[in-house]
Amino acid sequence: MKILVNGIQSNLRFSSAHMIPGHESCGYIHGHSYFVDVEIEGERSGEFQFVVDFKDVKGYTKAICDELDHRLLIPVYNDLIEFKDFDKKKDSIFSLKKRHTVHFKVNGKGYSLPGVDCVFLPLPYTSAEELSRFFAETLARKLSETYGSLEYVAVCVNEGIGQGAEYRKEL
């Protein structure tokens, strides 16, 4: 059986800034009011014969939204982003967040931002496509700790009404 959670109606939203390095128009810092729809298929189980408890799905998804909300989303593994004093192959992403100021360049454009204003993601882009994969994998990992009979977790990250990307994580 399948369960569906509607992001607008369940308040699974976040407002963030991002940019798509190298893209003609999206290469500039701009923002979206995102919302996140979730679809989970699996066997019903346990005392209440749920696929998953809605409270868990909404709680875990909201936690990811809250982490991204009101921040600039930075895709650390984007080839065009060059960080100062940070080796993408060796250094931990967590060390960036702790920095007072993070310096990086994109095609010669220089950025200096407070670490606390940013979320550093282990992704090549912060497109709807990559964010949906990030949400689906994070959510699937978390739900798998409790639920053993799920078939897939699919997440659609919408950049606004009528524009989103869905990623399905098979379990």
- The residues carrying an active-site annotation are 26, 70, 159
Task: Sketch the per residue contact string, 7 through 26, with Zn ion: x for CB under 5 A, - otherwise.
Answer: -------------------x
DSSP state string for 129-160: HHHHHHHHHHHHHHHHTT-S-EEEEEEEEESS
Nearer to Zn ion, 147 or 158 (CB): 158
Number of residues this chain uses to bind Zn ion (CB under 5 A): 1
State both tokens at 94: 């967590």
Give the max Cα distance, the chain: 58
Position of tokens 């959510």? 139
Instruction: Find out whether 151 and 170 touch, Cβ atoms under 8 Å.
Output: yes
Contact string (CB under 5 A) for Zn ion, positions 25-64, x = contact: -x--------------------------------------
Local structure of residue 116 (DSSP, 8 states): G
Two structure tokens written together for 26: 């999206």
Closest distance of CB 83 from Zn ion, Å: 21
From the CB of 30, what's the least distance to Zn ion, in Å?
6
Least separation, in Å, of the C-beta of 167 and Zn ion? 17
Contact residues toward Zn ion (CB under 5 A) are: 26
